[in-house]
Structure 1
């Protein structure tokens, strides 16, 4: 029986999700950047940018032991992209950085704890591998799903994610 390492499993999942995420981002219509389906929802460009910036957040989980939101010297996300080319270039850059950080890691390092906090208030403390899955991959997939709904509401064909989409099947 073949067993894979934790690192290899996360890399395989990451590779799959990056392909799907890029397909969604390629369809973000910047002419509708301020589109907001509800007053409590993020604007389209904010949501797309958040999906991309989460890649840098995942890299942080791999390379560091904690993130204090009160630390004024902590890395901040870049400015909101002003074009699809800029959004995709940042996605490609952040994806490559994350993939390299994860490739340079190993199972033992991924069992080390990671703490997400604001001063004394702890939001999450888990092994790095679990943090990557829960606050990294799952979090990104959640927001990518929201982004696919924005596309649907703007009548932009939604690409396949885990099987053919209604648009690719010609439904409706």
Structure 2
């Protein structure tokens, strides 16, 4: 199986799970935090959604510099986030379909000014900085929702809230 096909299959499955959990986020509680050091519910949700489009950045650029190229995602509601997931999915599918196996092996860097935070082949950057990062924060979001007593949808099968 090609790298592109692998990422496309994963994208389709995982975006369904991401849509389900983002749809549970109550906009009226976006400022809620489980701890003073934690991201707010809204910021965590926006971060999960913005990570989706990072695949496009990784495939089309040699690097991303937080100081000069990055702008945090602007969204005000859960509905905004769901619409962005759909828009980002289309952009990422196009980006993935345009990649060759050789391009996946080219290095990509995440930078903060002149400092390189991480540099690795694009295939690893997409797995590590996008996919695994989304799954990590989606798990975090499920804990936030549980603490707010909001039913959690199953991601890889039924959740305790799906059980009958």
Give the structure-2-normalised TM-score.
0.94
Give the CA deviation at 1:99.
1.7
Written as runs of structure 1 = structure 2, the 5 A alignment for 1:93-108 is 93-108=87-102
Secondary structure in structure 2 of the residue aligned to 1:57: helix
Equivalent residue, structure 2, for 1:146: 140
Secondary structure in structure 1 of the residue aligned to 2:117: strand
Q: Distance in 2 between matches of 1:57 and 1:77?
A: 12
Q: Is the 8 A contact 2:21 2:142 kept in 1?
A: yes
1:117 aligns with 2:117: no
1:49 aligns with 2:46: yes
Secondary structure in structure 2 of the residue aligned to 1:166: coil
Q: Distance in 1 between matches of 2:30 and 2:93?
A: 28
What are the superposed Cα offsets for residues 80-109 of structure 1, whole Å, 9 maximum, x if unpaired? Answer: x22221111112111211121111212121
Q: Which runs of 5+ in 1 are unaligned?
A: none
Aligned pair count?
Answer: 164
Q: CA RMSD in A?
A: 1.3
Equivalent residue, structure 2, for 1:70: 67
Q: Distance in 2 between matches of 1:122 and 1:75?
A: 15
Give the CA deviation at 1:120.
3.1
Equivalent residue, structure 1, for 2:16: 19
More displaced, 149-158 or 82-91?
82-91
1:87 aligns with 2:84: no
What are the superposed Cα offsets for residues 96-146 of structure 1, whole Å, 9 maximum, x if unpaired? Answer: 111211112121211111011123321111110110000110001111111
Q: Which runs of 5+ in 2 are unaligned?
A: none
